[in-house]
Structure 1
Amino acid sequence: MKMKVDKEIIHYSHSQHRLKFECSDALFNCDGCKEAGIGARYKCDICDFDLHKNCATPSPTLNHPFYRKCNFQFYSRPPGDKMRYCDACGQDVLGFVYHCNSCGFDLHPCCACLPPVLNDGERNLYLSLKVSAACHRCGRKGIGWSYRSECKKYNLHVSCVKDMLMESWQEIYDSGAKKINELQTRIPKLKGQVRSYHGNAKGGKVMKCCEMAGMAIKVIVSAILGDPTAIIGAVVGALISKK
Structure 2
Amino acid sequence: MYNKSNFQNPKHQKHDDDEHETTATKKLSEISHFSHKQHKLTFDYSESPFQCDGCKELGIGSRYSCSLCDFDLHTHCSIPSPSLFHPFYPKCSFHFLSHPPGDTPRYCNACQKPLKGFLYHCFSCGFDLHPCCAKLPTVIAGDNNEVRLLLYRTVRSACHRCGQKGRGWSYRSSCKRYNLHVACVREMVVESWHEGKGLKSVVESGCHKGRGGKGGRVKRCCEFAGVAVQVAVSAVLGDPTALIAGIVGSLVSRT
191, 199, 213: which one aligns with 2:207: 191
Where does the alignment leave 5 or more consecutive residues of structure 1 unmatched? Answer: 173-181
Give the secondary structure class of the aligned counterpart of 2:221: helix
RMSD between aligned alpha carbons?
A: 2.7
Listed as ranges, the matches of 1:221-236 within 5 Å are: 221-222=232-233, 223-236=235-248
2:42 matched residue in structure 1: 20
Deviation at 1:76, TM superposition (A): 0.4
Listed as ranges, the matches of 1:136-215 within 5 Å are: 136-141=160-165, 144-168=168-192, 171=194, 182=196, 184=198, 188=202, 189-195=205-211, 202-215=213-226
CA contact (8 A) 1:58 1:74 kept: yes
User: Cα gap change, 1:66/1:92 in structure 2, threshold over 3 Å: closer, same or farther?
Assistant: same
Residue identity opposite 2:185 in structure 1: V
CA contact (8 A) 2:43 2:62 kept: yes
Q: 2 CA distance for matches of 1:58 and 1:163?
A: 24
Q: CA-to-partner distance for each residue in 1:155-205, whole Å, 9 max, x for gaps?
A: 211022223344455x55xxxxxxxxx46479641122113xx5xxx4224
Q: 2 CA distance for matches of 1:62 and 1:162?
A: 23
User: Cα gap change, 1:32/1:230 in structure 2, threshold over 3 Å: closer, same or farther?
Assistant: same
Q: 2 CA distance for matches of 1:26 and 1:215?
A: 19
Tell me if 1:55 matches 2:81.
no
Q: 2 CA distance for matches of 1:39 and 1:117?
A: 21
2:29 matched residue in structure 1: 7
Residue identity opposite 1:219 in structure 2: Q
98, 102, 105: which one aligns with 2:124: 102
1:176 matched residue in structure 2: none
Deviation at 1:46, TM superposition (A): 1.7
Q: 1 CA distance for matches of 2:105 and 2:252?
A: 32
Q: 1 CA distance for matches of 2:93 and 2:197?
A: 35
Deviation at 1:113, TM superposition (A): 0.6
Percent sequence identity over matched residues?
52
What's the TM-score once normalised by structure 1's chain length? 0.82
CA contact (8 A) 1:24 1:40 kept: yes
Q: 2 CA distance for matches of 1:74 and 1:30?
A: 16
Deviation at 1:78, TM superposition (A): 0.8
